[in-house]
Amino acid sequence: MIDNDYEDNIEGDMDFERYIDCDYKCHECSQEDSIDYCKPCNSVHFSDNFAHWISGDSNFDELIQNSQLNADNSYKFIEWIEYSNRNIEFIAHVDTLITARIYGVTRSPQS
């Protein structure tokens, strides 16, 4: 069977390659970075904000701060969210014996 979309697929692949080959620069420091994350600039922003939050556990604070300072993208860091200022109606507790203890926070028990 002949694929009539073959030329469209080739054109799409070329667009994708042009997209990948683009040089991305941080809008703050003009250093080359990923599409949406500049590690040096974001590390400074996180570091500047360390004085504005505390979890109450120095080991946990250090874990969060290290994750923020060493993150390579916007999905690889932990953020402290002050729950006392939120309208939280339900806290789900999920416990797994193999890997880690995880606590989830949601506004609704159904979600």
What's the chain's average pLDDT? Answer: 72
- Band (pLDDT 50/70/90 cuts) for residue 1 is very low
> Tokens 């970075």 sit at which residue?
33
Q: Which residues contact 19 (CB under 8 A, 6 or more apart)?
A: none
CB 102 within 8 A of CB 111: no
With 70 as the cut, is the pLDDT of residue 57 above it? Answer: yes
Mean pLDDT of 2-14: 51
CB 92 within 8 A of CB 109: yes
More confident residue, 26 or 87: 26
Which of the listed ranges 8-12, 35-39, 69-73 does the model predict with the highest average pLDDT? 69-73
In the chain, where the domains are located = 6-106
Interval 77-99: pLDDT, tens? 888 877 665 665 655 655 554 54
Predicted pLDDT at 50: 92
CB 107 within 8 A of CB 81: no
Mean pLDDT of 17-46: 77
